[in-house]
Amino acid sequence: MKEFDLIGRYFSDGGHTRKDVVIGIGDDCAVTNVPSNQQLAVTTDTLVAGVHFLEDAPAKSVAYKTVAVNLSDLAAMGAEPAWISLSLSLPTVNDEWLSEFVDGLYELTQYYSVQLIGGDTVKGPMAMTITAQGFIPPGSELTRSNAKPGDWVYVTGTLGDAGAGLDILQNKLNVAGEARDVLINRHYYPTPRVAMGTALRRIASSCIDVSDGLISDLGHILKASGCGANVHVDKLPLSRALTSAVDNAQAIEYALSAGDDYELIFTVGEEQRGNFETSMGGSSVKATCIGQLTGQAGQLSLLKDNQPFTPTNENGYEHTF
Amino acid sequence: MKEFDLIGRYFSDGGHTRKDVVIGIGDDCAVTNVPSNQQLAVTTDTLVAGVHFLEDAPAKSVAYKTVAVNLSDLAAMGAEPAWISLSLSLPTVNDEWLSEFVDGLYELTQYYSVQLIGGDTVKGPMAMTITAQGFIPPGSELTRSNAKPGDWVYVTGTLGDAGAGLDILQNKLNVAGEARDVLINRHYYPTPRVAMGTALRRIASSCIDVSDGLISDLGHILKASGCGANVHVDKLPLSRALTSAVDNAQAIEYALSAGDDYELIFTVGEEQRGNFETSMGGSSVKATCIGQLTGQAGQLSLLKDNQPFTPTNENGYEHTF
């Protein structure tokens, strides 16, 4: 199948361009150059209207989020983003919607120096798939499987905001003023932690991004690494917006189980902690230590004031089957 | 978003594996190695149920076709396929359907030595997106834009079969016996011309695959290269199955305008014709010369017995907007 007019009309002559792209949009394939001393990281994520974003979400947010979730996967691997391919399925062609979508897309590609190198536009239910590619020096990739008992558990930024934002948009939570805008923006326009991901190379022992909630995503690290964890819920980083909008118990619930924050959860061994503190010195993104890994494979123990803590929802927030 | 159980359950422990894949399915990204003397070719195609394939198409065919159309794009660029990422959107989980889908997928990945390196499974309308990646030596890529007036126009295999097969399945065409099976199979299980694509490197002046019909796809070469073409419809390669199923005029219509054949259209300059004949000597896939490029930009002239010929449908077969 070929890329029809849509690609030509909306995507062909804009966006950030990179010198390592030999052929971009417009032929059967894109052709690119991977630096000879780098490995290639590849990730694919699909967002479906009504499943992964609200049917009436602003087009700019849909574009932003589709790019951000993919760059977030690259960040969680420690990769530096380079190129994205977009497949866009739309039931109808709406010029205004598409222009806004392209604006959102290019805002992120420009900011992260990523080039849109190709894609496909098809008639179908509203959904978008991006494959993002980036570079990692050999041996520097941050996997889920390399954590060890005793490693410290960190998380970037603050947790739970995007989940509260979604609940506000769905009229499940009533919040006014600035906090409302902050929380909704965190849902609509997540920030992929790209610089943090590359800074953690050879420092973090494991890493994952928070798409489905802390419990669920930390669980993937525990499973892949054969570890357990003690997590102190009173140490979870909470935004002022969230704590001003809901009480502490609810804020903790959001932080533990709501998804779509796209912060990074990572582990750092005791022997790397000095390196880590040094390299984080200049970072604008805060990382908070929330607990420590244990040898009890698969056991995630939540603690509050050092006492066992039971969350209301232990399953995280799963979009899919 | 993470890959949930579906990926783990159906895709994680099978399929062809390659030594250049450092990390496959199961982490935030796949990590691979591109040979230092090769460029990377990347293509993305989406197939939507009811738009690109029949809602009741066998799962094996859906998988086969999704892989084949992407490998066909790599072939049209002269690239050697290496890896694919799959995004699978399904409304429900049907074990039997998924097992058949995986069988179809792995049959092709095995045959072409391609590894499935990752993907995403989401709940949504039935649709699948594959991003395929492959290698091309620098300067060897077959674009659409490098053809010159005087170059000869070739096409591989036979044209029109898949379109007739689709019409049979939709009860628009009544064909019995072996021809019926052959034509339906050409629709359900297209063959990407991978070996031919790499053999044409540095020989063909341009190349594209037939996804939307000869007129439409040759049109892309003419537009990109600023040429015209004379095409002799009496030279179009037609299968015995097609000519036994319909009369000559109908067969020519299918060959000109029906899509989904995934043959290659390519051009060869007079100075490369000797090289071309030599390198095609051992090929099991026939290439047929159907005409010649002209300097009349954008003008596609169809001829039959050297007289102007007007097809019924000049627009090709477009799936999309």
Contact list in B for residue A76 (CB cut-off 8 A) is: 28-29
B181 among annotated binding-site residues: no
Instruction: Let me know whether B103 and B201 are in one domain.
Output: no
CB B294 within 8 A of CB B152: no
* Predicted pLDDT of residue B321: 36
Cα–Cα distance, B112 to B30 (Å, whole number): 19
**Quick check: is A280 in a domain?**
yes
* Predicted pLDDT of residue A3: 43
* Predicted pLDDT of residue A280: 84
* Predicted pLDDT of residue B5: 58
Instruction: Let me know whether B183 and B129 are in one domain.
Output: no
- Among A196, A38, A203, A41, which residue's Cα sits nearest to residue B28? A41
Instruction: Let me know whether A208 and A262 are in one domain.
Output: yes
* Predicted pLDDT of residue B8: 65
A114: which strand partners? Answer: none
B239 Ramachandran zone, left/alpha/beta (phi>0; psi -120 to 50): beta
* Predicted pLDDT of residue B3: 43
The phi, psi pair for A165, rounded to 5°, reads: -60, -45
Cα–Cα distance, A206 to A70 (Å, whole number): 18
pLDDT in tens, A190-229: 999 999 999 999 999 999 999 999 999 999 999 999 999 9
What is the count of structural domains for chain A? Answer: 2
Instruction: For chain A, say whether B261 makes contact (Cβ under 8 Å).
Output: no
* Predicted pLDDT of residue A312: 72
The phi, psi pair for A205, rounded to 5°, reads: -90, -20
Do the strands B287-294 and B228-232 form a parallel or antiparallel pair, or are they unpaired?
A: antiparallel
* Predicted pLDDT of residue A5: 59
A52 among annotated binding-site residues: yes
Instruction: Let me know whether B117 and B168 are in one domain.
Output: no
Chosen domain end from A87, A106, A136: A136
Instruction: Let me know whether B112 and B244 are in one domain.
Output: no
Q: Do A32 and B42 touch (CB under 8 A)?
A: yes
Instruction: Let me know whether A208 and A296 are in one domain.
Output: yes
Residue B274: how many other CB atoms lie within 10 Å:
9
Structure confidence at residue A9 as a pLDDT band (50, 70, 90): confident
Instruction: For chain B, say whether A135 makes contact (Cβ under 8 Å).
Output: no
Q: Do B28 and A122 touch (CB under 8 A)?
A: no
Residue pointed to by tokens 């924050």:
A261
* Predicted pLDDT of residue B1: 36
Instruction: For chain B, say whether A4 makes contact (Cβ under 8 Å).
Output: yes
* Predicted pLDDT of residue A146: 96
| Widest distance between CA atoms in chain B | 61
CATH number of the domain residue B84 falls in: 3.30.1330.10
Instruction: Let me know whether B173 and B271 are in one domain.
Output: yes
Average pLDDT over residues A183-195: 97
**Quick check: is B302 in a domain?**
yes
- Tens-of-pLDDT digits for all 321 residues of chain B? 344 456 667 877 668 999 999 999 989 999 999 999 999 999 999 999 998 999 999 999 999 999 999 999 999 999 999 999 999 999 998 999 999 999 999 999 999 999 999 988 888 899 999 999 999 999 999 999 999 999 999 999 999 999 999 999 999 999 999 999 999 999 999 999 999 999 999 999 999 999 999 999 999 999 999 999 999 999 999 999 999 999 999 999 999 999 899 999 999 999 999 999 888 887 889 999 999 999 999 999 999 999 999 877 544 434 333
Contacting B residues, span 100-129, partner chain A, CB-CB under 8 Å: 117-125, 127, 129
* Predicted pLDDT of residue A48: 93
Instruction: Let me know whether A117 and A172 are in one domain.
Output: no
Structure confidence at residue A294 as a pLDDT band (50, 70, 90): very high
CB B117 within 8 A of CB A42: yes
CB A162 within 8 A of CB A198: no
Residue B132: how many other CB atoms lie within 10 Å:
29
By 3-state DSSP, what share of chain B in percent is helix, strand and coil, each rounded to 5?
35, 25, 40
Instruction: Let me know whether A301 and A156 are in one domain.
Output: yes
Average pLDDT over residues A16-40: 95
Q: What is the CA radius of gyration of chain A?
A: 20
**Quick check: is B319 in a domain?**
no
H or E, element range at B167:
helix B161-169
Cα–Cα distance, B83 to B68 (Å, whole number): 13
Helix axes A177-188, A59-77, angle to 10 degrees: 70
**Quick check: is A144 in a domain?**
no
Sequence length of chain B is 321
Chosen domain end from A136, A165, A183: A136
Contacting B residues, span 83-102, partner chain A, CB-CB under 8 Å: 83, 85-87, 89, 93
Cα–Cα distance, B50 to A123 (Å, whole number): 10
* Predicted pLDDT of residue B311: 79
Instruction: Let me know whether A162 and A222 are in one domain.
Output: yes
**Chains A and B: how many Cβ contacts under 8 Å?**
240
* Predicted pLDDT of residue B281: 80
CB B132 within 8 A of CB B20: no
Residue pointed to by tokens 């031919």:
B196
The phi, psi pair for A152, rounded to 5°, reads: -85, 145
Contact list in B for residue A209 (CB cut-off 8 A) is: 28
Instruction: Let me know whether A156 and A304 are in one domain.
Output: yes
B57: containing domain: 5-136
For residue B308, give both structure tokens: 């102007």
Structure confidence at residue A315 as a pLDDT band (50, 70, 90): very low
* Predicted pLDDT of residue B165: 97
Instruction: Let me know whether B198 and B229 are in one domain.
Output: yes
Q: Which residue has the higher pLDDT, A93 or A255?
A: A255
* Predicted pLDDT of residue A147: 98
- Among B146, B151, B186, which residue's Cα sits nearest to residue B166? B186
Contact list in B for residue A41 (CB cut-off 8 A) is: 29-31
Cα–Cα distance, A123 to A145 (Å, whole number): 40
Cα–Cα distance, A200 to B280 (Å, whole number): 52
A43 among annotated binding-site residues: yes
A229: which strand partners? Answer: A293, A300
For chain A, what is the mean pLDDT? 92
Cα–Cα distance, A24 to A29 (Å, whole number): 8
Do the strands B300-304 and B228-232 form a parallel or antiparallel pair, or are they unpaired?
A: parallel
Structure confidence at residue A319 as a pLDDT band (50, 70, 90): very low
Chosen domain end from A136, A168, A203: A136
Give A318's contacts (C-beta < 8 A, 6+ positions apart).
A212, A216, A259, B4
Q: Do B122 and A51 touch (CB under 8 A)?
A: yes
The torsion angle over the Cα atoms of residues B15, B195, A135 and A38, rounded to 10 degrees, is 100
**Quick check: is B315 in a domain?**
no
Query: A32: number of CA atoms within 13 Å, CB side?
Result: 28
The 3-state secondary structure of chain A, one letter per residue: CCCCHHHHHHHCCCCCCCCCEEECCCCCCEEECCCCCCEEEEEEEEEEECCCECCCCCHHHHHHHHHHHHHHHHHHHCCEEEEEEEEEEECCCCHHHHHHHHHHHHHHHHHCCCEEEEEEEEECCCEEEEEEEEEECCCCCCCCCCCCCCCEEEEECCCCHHHHHHHHHCCCCCCCHHHHHHHHHHHHCCCCCHHHHHHCCCCEEEEEECCCCHHHHHHHHHHHHCCEEEEEHHHCCCCHHHHHHCCHHHHHHHHHHCCCCCCEEEEECHHHHHHHHHHHCCCCCCEEEEEEEECCCCCEEEEECCEECCCCCCCCCCCCC
* Predicted pLDDT of residue A107: 93
What ipTM goes with this model?
0.93
Q: How far is A214 from chain B (nearest CA, A)?
A: 13
Cα–Cα distance, A170 to A176 (Å, whole number): 14
**Quick check: is B237 in a domain?**
yes
Cα–Cα distance, A26 to B208 (Å, whole number): 12
Cα–Cα distance, B127 to A221 (Å, whole number): 30
CATH number of the domain residue B294 falls in: 3.90.650.10
**Quick check: is A143 in a domain?**
no
Instruction: For chain A, say whether B141 makes contact (Cβ under 8 Å).
Output: yes
**Quick check: is A147 in a domain?**
no
